[in-house]
């Protein structure tokens, strides 16, 4: 059984896989989200291609799912997708992080969008490949932080802009918010709202593996222009219908349906880690350049537009070793 340990109340006994739980806390836990055969196939491929990596690193960048079917088999599970549909979001996989070592990363928010609709349509997931040891650097999340009122526009005004760990911790203290430690079992998926504040804790014992996959999913509503044109949030079923059948006529953001039932982006999507990977010529400048200037400097026509995605980077991100 997966465990959710609240700092204030001890082990959480509520059902963590309901719409009510997700809306109240900003996260949920889906038990047995991925079938054993897919977990086994993924592990075999990971070991064959990454097993020699001494630092437990996986495939080198966060678009590996595009080429590796075993990643999509896990992350596009119909159970995970069904949960997203139950909270009324139609989203597609666009980021996969495949390292098998504990990752230390301080408090942060994944969805770097200054408007309200985008973060609801930008969700994270962690699928565990084993029983999570509390000493292996488990993920923690701040209950209810997805509803905090903060100056998101200011924080995310540049490609690498963000709230600092100190700002988020100060807000947590001000709000007297609860911290929940997530200890998932093999095959369980922990999912979180794009504005939920979370972190990878420092491992007490870095020798203990924390085998799992991190994923991000989203849809076109992360673009403020698209929200304006749509008149607000688009219900999950309507979003999937538009993008699977391409009713939108927007080729850049066409979803594909994977054989295990969920959706993924076969191409497109800009992320901060992808920017670094695909445009090394930008160097350190990428951290301070404005979105407007970036759009003039790189050709984004093949990867969607810059209003689409601006997530997933943190300067403190490193392997616990």
Which residues would be at the binding site for Fe ion (CB under 5 A)? 110
- Shortest distance, position 230 Cβ to Fe ion, whole Å: 26
How far is the C-alpha of 74 from the C-alpha of 214, rounded, in Å? 11
Q: Which residues partner with 5 through β-bridges?
A: 11, 181
Name the 3-class secondary structure at 284.
helix
Which residue, 44 or 57, has its beta carbon nearer to Fe ion?
57
Name the 3-class secondary structure at 14.
coil
Q: Which residue is nearest to Fe ion (CB)?
A: 110
- Shortest distance, position 265 Cβ to Fe ion, whole Å: 18
- Shortest distance, position 96 Cβ to Fe ion, whole Å: 13
Which residue, 56 or 107, has its beta carbon nearer to Fe ion?
107
Which residue from 92, 81, 91, 79 is spatially nearest to 34, judged by alpha carbons?
79
- Shortest distance, position 15 Cβ to Fe ion, whole Å: 24
Which residue, 200 or 236, has its beta carbon nearer to Fe ion?
200
Measuring CA to CA, how many Å separate 52 from each of 56, 57, 58, 212, 320?
Answer: 8, 9, 10, 17, 18
- Shortest distance, position 312 Cβ to Fe ion, whole Å: 7
Residues 6+ apart with CB under 8 A from 27: 16, 141, 143, 180, 182, 190, 191, 192, 193, 196, 198
State the alpha helices, DSSP H only, in the chain. 19-25, 36-50, 69-75, 78-86, 117-120, 152-155, 165-175, 224-230, 236-244, 272-278, 291-297
Which residue, 110 or 188, has its beta carbon nearer to Fe ion?
110
- Shortest distance, position 310 Cβ to Fe ion, whole Å: 14
Which residue, 73 or 110, has its beta carbon nearer to Fe ion?
110
Measuring CA to CA, how many Å separate 235 from each of 87, 120, 192?
Answer: 9, 11, 18
Which residue from 222, 178, 229, 224 is spatially nearest to 311, judged by alpha carbons?
222
Which residue, 28 or 240, has its beta carbon nearer to Fe ion?
28
- Shortest distance, position 231 Cβ to Fe ion, whole Å: 30
Which residue from 225, 236, 26 is spatially nearest to 121, judged by alpha carbons?
236
Which residue, 234 or 275, has its beta carbon nearer to Fe ion?
275
């Amino acid at each position: 059984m997966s465990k959710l340990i609240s700092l204030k109340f001890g082990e959480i006994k509520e059902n963590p896989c309901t719409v009510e739980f997700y809306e109240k806390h900003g996260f949920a836990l889906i038990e047995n989200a991925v079938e054993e055969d897919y977990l086994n196939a993924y592990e075999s491929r990971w070991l064959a291609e990454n097993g020699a990596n001494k630092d437990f690193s996986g495939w080198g960048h966060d678009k590996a799912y595009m080429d590796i079917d075993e990643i999509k088999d896990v992350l596009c599970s119909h159970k995970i997708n069904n949960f997203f549909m139950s909270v009324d979001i139609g989203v597609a996989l666009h980021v996969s992080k495949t390292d098998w070592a504990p990752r230390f990363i301080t408090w942060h928010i994944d969805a770097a969008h200054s408007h309200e609709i985008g973060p609801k349509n930008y969700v994270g997931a962690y699928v565990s490949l084993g029983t999570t040891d509390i000493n292996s650097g488990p993920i923690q999340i701040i209950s209810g932080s997805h509803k905090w009122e903060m100056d998101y526009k200011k924080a995310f005004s540049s490609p690498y802009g963000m709230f600092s760990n100190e700002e988020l911790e100060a807000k947590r203290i001000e709000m007297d918010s609860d911290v929940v430690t997530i200890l998932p079992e093999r095959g369980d998926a922990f999912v979180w709202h794009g504005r939920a504040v979370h972190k990878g804790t420092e491992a007490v014992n870095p020798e203990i593996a924390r085998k799992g996959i991190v994923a991000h999913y989203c849809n076109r509503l992360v673009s403020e222009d698209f929200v304006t044109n749509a008149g607000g949030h688009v219900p999950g079923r309507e979003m999937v219908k538009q993008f699977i059948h391409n009713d939108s006529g927007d080729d850049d953001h066409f979803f594909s349906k994977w054989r295990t039932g969920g959706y993924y982006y076969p191409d497109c999507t800009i992320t901060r880690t992808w920017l670094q990977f695909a445009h090394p010529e930008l160097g350190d400048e990428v951290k301070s350049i404005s979105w407007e200037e970036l759009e003039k400097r790189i050709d984004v026509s093949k990867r969607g537009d810059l209003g689409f995605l601006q997530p997933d980077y943190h300067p403190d991100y490193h392997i616990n070793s």
